[in-house]
Structure 1
Amino acid sequence: LSEEIVEVVEADSYWCLTKLLEGIQDNYTHAQPGILRQITRLRDLINRIDAPLAMHLARENVEFLQFAFRWMNCLLMREISLSNTIRMWDTYLAEGSEGFSEFHMYVCAAFLVKWSDRLKKMEFQDIMMFLQSLPTASWGEKEVELLLSEAFMWKTLFHHSPSHLS
């Protein structure tokens, strides 16, 4: 690659990294208040969009912190393939300054609701094992597109209407 192309790629990479970190700085500071805030909002959203799942998780004493912390901290990189992560993050960047800080929470909600029927049939230990090793190895672009579409729908319905979550 020519030096000129390398400089352009470097500049684009730097821009992408700054956009990624811009909205989630407080995810990686002492006590990680950003992650805790996202997990609380995720729990509230699930209570609203899938109350039976929320009640089942509560009955089984499954705390959202126990599984969603990793989803927020690693931005779902450990749950889906690298190529699917890149596709998902491309959408986050297109969502602007709230892509990683806000839209990601809606993606996590759609991700959890996807497994709702299975999870409601499980007890605590099985739920935790399932959520730590989700069957996403065979996921392709179609599954990620559906996940992003559902997340966009939830964001459209709830993001600027916080009273809908109470």
Structure 2
Amino acid sequence: VLDEIDKDLSRQFPHHELFVQDQGHGQQALRRLLQAYSGCHPEVGYCQAMAPLAGALLLHMPELDAFYTMVSLFDTYMRDYFRPGLEAVQVDGQILYGLLKRMYPDVYRHLVKYKVEPLHFMVDWFMCLYVRNLPWPTLLRVWDVYFCEGVKIIFRVAIALLNGILGSSQQRRHLKSFEDTLDCLRNLPASVTEASSLLPAALLLELSAKDFEQEHTKQLKKFNQRKQGRHQMQEAAAAV
């Protein structure tokens, strides 16, 4: 675990003055945060997605405050994200597509047409809370809502981004393959990441708490059924 943490230190905000120096103050603080969390939570350990989140917190607050904020963030909202198999991320990906299908069916159909699965692009968005994807001013606005209102903003932002990229027929005509679509989703155009347009688009989506709850229940049931089916097939194959 310690070796994996050390490998990731220089990858976090490499051009920021806090982290630019190899083994400097910022990298040492980041190492302490990640080692402390993984040591206190051996059942979770360390996941690469933790490093950019911890780095972003260190840019915003003193080390001790960053540690307690990180613990609260991970334990309250994200612990299941870091478990092997990414099952929680898989479920959230299907929730995202379920909500997208309801809000913007043309966007959903485009993704399905070119076989773009949620895990192809949203793992980085959700597990790193957009640290690697949004400009800093936009990221801070998203995080403000996240800390005040919870995880729904992560889905709202994802839906707003997808609609911003694929919402018009003209935009979809320019992305006529799996590769073109995925490249655009992994390298978000600046036109869709400005806080002044992205946040209103996300917050004004007509999605209620009940909508989220119903979609979560539906997709979790489907996931568990598929998981049980795979398990039964494996048992049958082993018995042959």
| 131-140 vs 18-27, which moves further | 131-140
> Tell me, what secondary structure is at the counterpart of 1:134?
coil
Deviation at 1:82, TM superposition (A): 2.1
Identical columns (%): 20
Give 2:95's aligned amino acid: R
TM-score by length of 2: 0.55
Runs of 4 or more, structure 1, over 3 Å off, are: 8-15, 137-141, 160-163
Residue pair 2:133, 2:188 contacting (<8 A) in 1 also = yes
Give 1:39's aligned amino acid: G
Q: 2:125 aligns with which of 37, 48, 71?
A: 71
Partner of 1:123: 176
Distance 1:62 1:130, change over 3 A: same
Point out where structure 1 has 5 or more consecutive residues left out of the alignment. Answer: 1-7
Deviation at 1:129, TM superposition (A): 1.6
Alignment of 1:106-117 (within 5 A): 106-115=156-165, 116-117=167-168
Distance 1:59 1:162, change over 3 A: closer
Q: Partners of 1:92 and 1:16 in 2: how far apart?
A: 13
Partner of 1:42: 96
| 11-20 vs 28-37, which moves further | 11-20
Larger relative CO (CA 8 A, sep 6+): 1 or 2? 1
Indicate whether 1:32 and 2:86 are aligned: yes
Q: 1:132 aligns with which of 168, 177, 186?
A: 186
Point out where structure 2 has 5 or more consecutive residues left out of the alignment. Answer: 1-60, 220-240
Residue pair 1:42, 1:109 contacting (<8 A) in 2 also = yes
RMSD, aligned α-carbons: 2.8
Residue pair 1:80, 1:137 contacting (<8 A) in 2 also = no
Residue pair 1:107, 1:150 contacting (<8 A) in 2 also = no
Alignment of 1:1-166 (within 5 A): 12-21=65-74, 22-95=76-149, 99-100=150-151, 102-115=152-165, 116-117=167-168, 119-121=171-173, 122-124=175-177, 125-136=179-190, 139-150=193-204, 153-156=206-209, 158-162=211-215
Larger radius of gyration: 2
Deviation at 1:57, TM superposition (A): 1.5
Residue pair 2:146, 2:154 contacting (<8 A) in 1 also = yes
TM-score by length of 1: 0.76
Q: Partners of 1:29 and 1:82 in 2: how far apart?
A: 28
Distance 1:57 1:145, change over 3 A: closer
